[in-house]
Amino acid sequence: MMEFIKAALPWVMVGIAIAIFIVRMVQKSKLQQQKGPGKKGDCMTLGMCFGMCVGVALGTSGMMSITLALPLCTLIGEVVGILIKY
């Protein structure tokens, strides 16, 4: 049972991060619509945090080495966060 919990915990954290990521994007887009047109921002920090969660999940599950998965997924998450405009 303990092995299952240890294996599932990173994936649960990724699911929570995705939910927070989506809710935050929706809130920011609604706020931007209320303020009117102006300078748009990006979600670089949220993407980087999400990438870290995915990197830890991949590293602890054994799919990749943790030393490779964490920085690679962090970088990918940061790039995806920059591309998402709100």
For 69-86, write each residue's pLDDT tens digit: 888 888 888 888 888 766
- The C-alpha atoms of residue 26 and residue 19 are separated, in whole angstroms, by 11
Range of the domain at 31: 2-83
Distinct helix (H) and strand (E) counts, the chain: 3, 0
Contact 17, 53 (CB under 8 A): yes
What phi and psi values does residue 36 have, to the nearest 5 degrees?
100, 180
If one compares 65 and 86, the residue with the highest pLDDT of the two is 65
What predicted TM-score, i.e. pTM, was given to this entire model? 0.55
Domain count, the chain: 1
